Amino acid sequence: MKKTWLLGLVVLHSFLSEAKTYVVNPKGQLKSIQTAISLAHDGDTVRVMAGHYREGNYIIKKSIVLLGENLPVLDAENKYEIFTIVANDVSVIGFRMINTGKASINDISAVNAIQTKRLRVANNQMENTFFGIHLANSTASLIENNTFHSDAEAEHLAGNGIHAWKCDSITIRNNTIRGHRDGIYFEFVTHSHVENNYSHHNMRYGLHFMFSHHDSYVKNTFHNNGAGVAVMYTQDVTMIGNRFEDNWGASSYGLLLKDIRDSHIEGNHFLRNTVGVYMEGSSRCRMEKNVFKDNGWAVKIQANCDENSFQRNSFLSNTFDMATNGSLVLNTVDYNYWDNYQGYDLDKDGIGDVPFHPVSLYSMVVEKMPSSIMLWRSFLVYLLDRSEKVVPSITPESLKDNHPVMKNYDYHF
Amino acid sequence: MKYLLFVLFGIVTLSCSTEPEPLKYGTDVCHFCKMTLMDNKFGAELVTRKGRIYKFDDMRCFLNYYNSGNEATSDFQHALVIDYLNPGNFLNAYDAFYLKSSAIHSPMDGQVAAFQSKQHMMPLKKEWGAIYLAWGEVVTQYK
């Protein structure tokens, strides 16, 4: 009974407000997207045919669908913001947005959403925009299948690719972001999901989380960004199946964890970074089944981290497996595979008979005196490391893997 | 020999320099939060009497370190903040004028911007609905 009543209401509603479609075509009667937007009502669609449109800033105050056919170009002529969206239930699909204005005080964007709900931005190309998509105080929105590219030379001339501030329940998936300040930036964003994006050659971070709780990012690739990914001042973040690759530089790392709590980091690849994971002031994070390969330092863990666990990870051909800056260690390291392990497994249970100490004496020296890295691989250093292994004196005795596995886990994801 | 002495002397004095160093945005890292400096409207620097330089991306990090007790505040030769209206340029932190407002989006959400003078600050104070702070007040903001 309730169902038919509801159905009747839906039918009645669709009779009362029949959704219209306005077709904008450079060769047709309706040539201006601005005009089409002003004619449209809630629920209508504006279909835009291919062409080059220079109409400044579009302010969307109605719940409409903007649908581009064959990527119509919206050119902001280096002056304007393109879409400013202040209504709920707006969709922006299939446009090529180019040349937004650049300002250091206002965050000019291709799509700027302020206090909206259920926004959808899909299948667009953003080229040479200051900010790509800027969401403020918005909820339940979807951003998918877009590409973002910025050519900015100086960092203050590049905004973030996707920037979310005080948002909730945002999904960001299948986007490619290149050349921005941060690829994806979250500040005060909760319950959001970032999946399968490719963020590369951005000036600062591929992904940047600040004060953003209960979020997850899964199966993304972060390649050759200024300094990888930063997750800061945040709790309950899930990071699964991501790739952190080729972040080289004096202060560069694959993943920076600063003041993180209760997070889960599993099945990620850290390849060819100066530092794979840098951890500071973090507690209760689980690092499991990750692969650390060809890094300068696989993991740098500061002494102010506690109750973190590193289990069942693979450490392969890293210069240093772990480094720390103190002697007190309150973290668990267990059941990992270390290719630097030289012990035997006489009882053949697959687990080395003596514990492995992943922190070498020399990594402690380098931590105190970075320039001493010059002597790395010299005979003297080899001797020092060897004697330290026999009689540990400087390296933290408690930071050890009691069950180093003998065979590489060989994770493939 | 004389020249060699001169060169040596030069190196010695250079290495003891307590002059501030400009912030290199895009390269330098905040000493406190480890973030790469990016936004040249914000930033700060501390130079100790021994010539050690600490760079910061935000007033929040700067003052958290300043008040951390790692070093006595009397050991800082220079305390400098970036002029909001003159990006990348330093002001003496003790003499600067500060505005605090949630409309100020700084890298670490410190919500504080620094200005050279009251005249420069006033128009933005109105626009942001900000409150004015002097050094003595701003220094206790993040405690």
Instruction: Determine, for residues B109 and A230 on separate chains, whether the beta-carbon distance falls below 8 Å.
Output: no
Query: Buried b vs exposed e over A126-151: b needs ≥16 C-beta within 10 Å?
Result: bbbbbbbbbbbebbbbbbbebbbbbe
Give B71-123 pLDDT, tens digit per residue.
Answer: 899 999 999 999 999 999 999 999 999 999 999 989 999 999 999 999 999 99
C-alpha to C-alpha distance for A227 and B38, rounded to whole angstroms: 12
Q: Is B35 on the interface with A (CB under 8 A)?
A: yes
Instruction: Determine, for residues B36 and A226 on separate chains, whether the beta-carbon distance falls below 8 Å.
Output: yes
C-alpha to C-alpha distance for A268 and A244, rounded to whole angstroms: 8
Dihedral over Cα of A38, A43, A47, A48: its sign = positive
Instruction: Determine, for residues A210 and B29 on separate chains, whether the beta-carbon distance falls below 8 Å.
Output: no
Instruction: Determine, for residues B36 and A227 on separate chains, whether the beta-carbon distance falls below 8 Å.
Output: yes
Instruction: Determine, for residues B26 and A203 on separate chains, whether the beta-carbon distance falls below 8 Å.
Output: yes
Instruction: Determine, for residues A210 and B41 on separate chains, whether the beta-carbon distance falls below 8 Å.
Output: no
Provide the residue ranges of all domains of chain A, joining segments of one domain with +: 43-363
Provide the residue ranges of all domains of chain B, joining segments of one domain with +: 17-138
In this prediction, residue B2 carries a pLDDT of 59
A335 Ramachandran zone, left/alpha/beta (phi>0; psi -120 to 50) = left
Q: Is B87 on the interface with A (CB under 8 A)?
A: yes
- In chain B, residues 93-122 whose CB comes closer than 8 Å to chain A: 105, 108-109
Among chain A residues, CA nearest to B86: A104
Which tokens hold the place of A81? 């913001």
Among chain B residues, CA nearest to A158: B38
CA angle A80, A81, A82 (to 5 degrees): 110
Cβ(A315)–Cβ(A340) below 8 Å = yes
Q: Please provide the DSSP assignment of A234-285 as one string.
A: EESEEEES-EEE---STT--SEEEEEEES-EEES-EEES-SEEEEEES-BS-
CA distance A92 to chain B (A): 27
DSSP state of A19: P
Select the residue of B33, B40, B87 nearest A258 (Cβ to Cβ): B33
Its ipTM equals: 0.74
Beta bridge partners of A200: A178, A223
Q: Tell whether the model's pLDDT for residue B14 goes beyond 60.
A: no
Which tokens hold the place of A320? 């240093």
Query: Which one, of A281, A333, A332, lies nearest residue A303 by Cα?
Result: A281
Query: Buried b vs exposed e over A227-249: b needs ≥16 C-beta within 10 Å?
Result: bbbbbbbbbbbebbbbbbbbbee
Q: What is the largest CA-CA distance in chain A?
A: 86
Instruction: Determine, for residues A104 and B38 on separate chains, whether the beta-carbon distance falls below 8 Å.
Output: no
Q: Look at the block and give the residue holding tokens 């590193």.
A: A310
Cβ-based contacts of B108 with chain A (< 8 Å): 210
Q: What are the angstrom distances between the C-alpha of A350 and each of A229, A311, A334, A412?
A: 35, 15, 14, 20
In this prediction, residue A367 carries a pLDDT of 79
DSSP state of A328: -
Residue B32, judged by CB atoms within 10 A of its CB (0-12, 13-18, 19+), counts as buried
Q: Look at the block and give the residue holding tokens 């302020």.
A: A114
Tell me the average pLDDT across B119-142.
Answer: 93
C-alpha to C-alpha distance for A276 and A248, rounded to whole angstroms: 10
Cβ-based contacts of A155 with chain B (< 8 Å): 25-26, 38
Interface test with B, best of A114, A150, A155 (most B CBs within 10 A): A155
B41 Ramachandran zone, left/alpha/beta (phi>0; psi -120 to 50) = alpha
Select the residue of A104, A154, A280 nearest B34 (Cβ to Cβ): A280
Instruction: Determine, for residues B41 and A278 on separate chains, whether the beta-carbon distance falls below 8 Å.
Output: no
CA angle A280, A396, A234 (to 5 degrees): 15
Residue A261: CB partners within 8 Å, gap ≥ 6?
A234, A235, A236, A282, A283, A284, A285
Among chain B residues, CA nearest to A188: B109
Cβ-based contacts of B39 with chain A (< 8 Å): 156
C-alpha to C-alpha distance for A239 and A212, rounded to whole angstroms: 13
Instruction: Determine, for residues B38 and A156 on separate chains, whether the beta-carbon distance falls below 8 Å.
Output: yes
Interface test with B, best of A160, A251, A260 (most B CBs within 10 A): A251
CA angle A147, A150, A155 (to 5 degrees): 135
C-alpha to C-alpha distance for B26 and A250, rounded to whole angstroms: 12
Residue A224: CB partners within 8 Å, gap ≥ 6?
A200, A201, A245, A246, A247
Tell me the average pLDDT across B17-43.
Answer: 89
Q: Is B25 on the interface with A (CB under 8 A)?
A: yes
CA distance A148 to chain B (A): 19
Among chain B residues, CA nearest to A230: B35
Cβ(A404)–Cβ(A349) below 8 Å = no
DSSP state of B108: T
Interface test with A, best of B15, B30, B31, B35 (most A CBs within 10 A): B35
C-alpha to C-alpha distance for B112 and A234, rounded to whole angstroms: 22
DSSP state of A155: G
Interface test with A, best of B15, B24, B33 (most A CBs within 10 A): B33
C-alpha to C-alpha distance for A256 and A300, rounded to whole angstroms: 10
Select the residue of A104, A165, A210 nearest B41 (Cβ to Cβ): A104
Domain A43-363 has CATH 2.160.20.10: yes
Cβ(A98)–Cβ(A71) below 8 Å = no
Number of H-type helices and E-type strands within chain B: 4, 7
Q: Please provide the DSSP assignment of A78-117 as one string.
A: TT--SEEE-SSS-EEES-EEE-----SSS--EEEEEES-B
Residue B34: CB partners within 8 Å, gap ≥ 6?
A230, A251, A256, A258, A278, A280
- pLDDT tens sequence for chain A (413 residues): 555 665 555 555 555 567 899 999 999 999 999 999 999 999 999 999 999 999 999 999 999 999 999 999 999 999 999 999 999 999 999 999 999 998 767 789 999 999 999 999 999 999 999 999 999 999 999 999 999 999 887 777 789 999 999 999 999 999 999 999 999 999 999 999 999 999 999 999 999 999 999 999 999 999 999 888 999 999 999 999 999 999 988 778 999 999 999 999 999 999 999 999 999 999 999 999 999 999 999 999 998 999 999 999 999 999 999 998 887 778 999 999 999 998 999 999 999 999 999 988 888 888 778 788 888 888 888 888 888 877 777 788 888 999 999 999 988 75
In this prediction, residue B13 carries a pLDDT of 52
Question: How many A×B Cβ pairs under 8 Å?
Answer: 41
C-alpha to C-alpha distance for A54 and B142, rounded to whole angstroms: 47
